[in-house]
Structure 1
Amino acid sequence: MTMQGRKTTKFLLAAVLPLALAACVETDGSKSGPAMDASETNAVIGMLGVGCKNRVSQQFSVPNSDITVRPGATLQQGINSGSMSAADLRRSGASFDWEVAGRGARGYCNVDGTGRVTEFQQW
């Protein structure tokens, strides 16, 4: 396999894995209380974060293992308080802080509800 083929495979896996996880969250169409809500919200956050992580990887040509992507402060507060749901995230998107290990590069990334990057800034 060529180097380009390996990169493509990694990006495809990074894009598909959170979607597969999100598909597994609801198995029978019903929800089972707060635990299911939290699981679904975390799955959507993971899916949206992949878009940001892929953008950082493209920008800096580094492996995904060197990139840390975390929910932004406002998003994290909404998650912690329970005021941010998976439906809210799908409707509004999310903001993430990112950092590249060993490069001193960091910034933030906004994505829409499908994970498409709408804003990318480096500090």
Structure 2
Amino acid sequence: MTTYPAPVNDALRGHTFYPPAHELATIPQYEDLHPDEVTIHLHYFAPNSDVYVAAFDPTTGLAYGWGMIGHRDPSHGDWGDFSLPEIEQFRATRGIGWFERDLHFTPGPAKTVLPRREPEPPTTAADET
């Protein structure tokens, strides 16, 4: 049973924000996550933002996952709770900006799905002078 608000921006994005109910049912709730084997089930994106869903509560719309909001640098990404209904209802006040579900995303282990921070270039003695 869902109690969270119905999507309001589906017409803008041209597809449904939430996947079909049978797909949502496969996403574990937070208490069922296995910390060493977290699977990312959904990916949402907007200009300069990405959200990856690992857990979802279908009664509240609350999700747990990894995201970087307002930038593209993975070093600023973090794990935490977020509201999918709030993300769905977000619309930038200027320009194009709403979250879309990545229709081509394939679920997989967080360690292989999440973006990685590029390694820092090595420093040399010449760089330090």
**TM (normalized to structure 2)?**
0.30
Choose between structure 1 and 2 for higher RCO, CA contacts under 8 A separated by at least 6 residues: 2
More helix by share: 1
| Greater fraction of residues in strand | 2
